[in-house]
Amino acid sequence: MRITVHLTPAVAAAPDADAGLAHELARLGVKLTPLHPRATDPDLVGQFSADVPDAAADAVCGRLLAHPAVVAAYPKPADGPPSAALS
C-alpha cells in the first residue's frame, strides 16, 4: 500500500539530515520518494510517498506521526473511477 507523508518545510529539503527521522524511517523500512521532485513551492516540496505492506500501513503512519517533522501521514486512497454525483 502506498502512504503519503507530509514533512515540515525545515526538514522537507533533506529528510535524511534529520537523524531522528532517518532513524525512524530505517527502523520501519520506509523509503520516502518525493511526490513532486522538481517542485519549488514549499507546500509541494514536503510531500512524499512510500510503499509499505498493507497490514502495516496504519501502524507505520502512526509511528511517523509521532515524529515532530511529520505534519501528516496517511494511506493513499485506492485508485478508482470518480463516484457519481449524488442527486
What confidence score (pLDDT) does residue 80 get?
76
Work out the average pLDDT over 68-82: 87
Q: Does the domain spanning 2-75 belong to CATH 3.30.70?
A: yes
Report whether 6 contacts 47 (CB < 8 A): yes
pLDDT tens figures, 18-29: 999 999 999 999
Report the pLDDT value the prediction gives residue 86, as an integer from 0 to 100.
Answer: 60
3-state secondary structure the chain: CEEEEEECHHHHCCHHHCHHHHHHHHHHCCCCEECCCCCCCHHHHCEEEEECCHHHHHHHHHHHHCCCCEEEEEECCCCCCCCCCCC
pTM of the entire structure?
Answer: 0.86
Q: For residues 80 and 6, which has the higher predicted lDDT (pLDDT)?
A: 6
